[in-house]
Amino acid sequence: MSEDEERRLRPTGWRVPTLLVLVGALLGLLMTNALQNLPLLPWSAIPTLLLLALAEAFTAGRTRRRIRREPGTEPMQPLSAARLVALAKASALFAALALGFFGGMALSVSDTLILPTHWEVFLTALGTALAAGLLLASALYLEYACRVPEDHENGDDPSHGA
């Protein structure tokens, strides 16, 4: 592998997010099982993660159009695209860990839903896990939107106009 290939930024694959989901789920299960009295989880993480997911999905749509230089858009500066890729990668890793952690918490209390505290923890943890899943999907879409199109997509095809 050449030095340029080693330093090249690669797209987020499926392995690292999957590993983070599993590690997060294990941590969520262990922490929930270790606590005698479960504290109520704040529900405010759900709308926060949903707003982040919505913002990243909206940004991804605009970014994709700008990188492809569609009519009515101005070209994107490379530094701006690099910052968005960094945001997308960080969001994807955080969202995968949060998805696993809160999913593990929900799974841990799912067998004792008779208790009112466990029912509230279950609903909040499940909602937070679903919101983290949406953030993960939005982050991966933003990362995808920052890719530069291949040369054959840009107009090397003779059927495209000049």
Q: Which pLDDT score, from 0 to 100, does residue 5 have?
A: 61
| Residue 28 belongs to a domain | no
Which residue in this structure is represented by tokens 């999957």?
18
Domain range for 70: 41-149
Q: What is the pTM of this model?
A: 0.84
Domain assignment of residue 27, yes or no: no
3-state helix, strand, coil split of the chain in percent (to 5) is 70, 0, 30
Contacts of residue 64, defined as CB under 8 A and 6 or more positions apart, other chains included, come to: 144, 145
User: What pLDDT, on the 0 to 100 scale, is given for residue 40?
Assistant: 85
**End-to-end alpha carbon distance in the chain:** 37
In a domain? residue 108: yes
Which pLDDT belongs to residue 75? 86
Residue 110: inside a domain: yes
Buried b (16+ CB within 10 A) or exposed e, 59-81: bbeebbebbbeeeeeeebeeeeb
Domain assignment present for 12? no
pLDDT averaged per 10 residues, the chain (length 162): 64 88 96 85 95 97 90 88 94 97 94 86 96 97 88 47 36
Question: Does residue 87 belong to any structural domain of this protein?
Answer: yes
How many domains does the chain fold into?
A: 1
Structural domain includes residue 162: no
Model pLDDT, residue 160: 41
Secondary structure of residue 9 in the 3-state scheme: coil
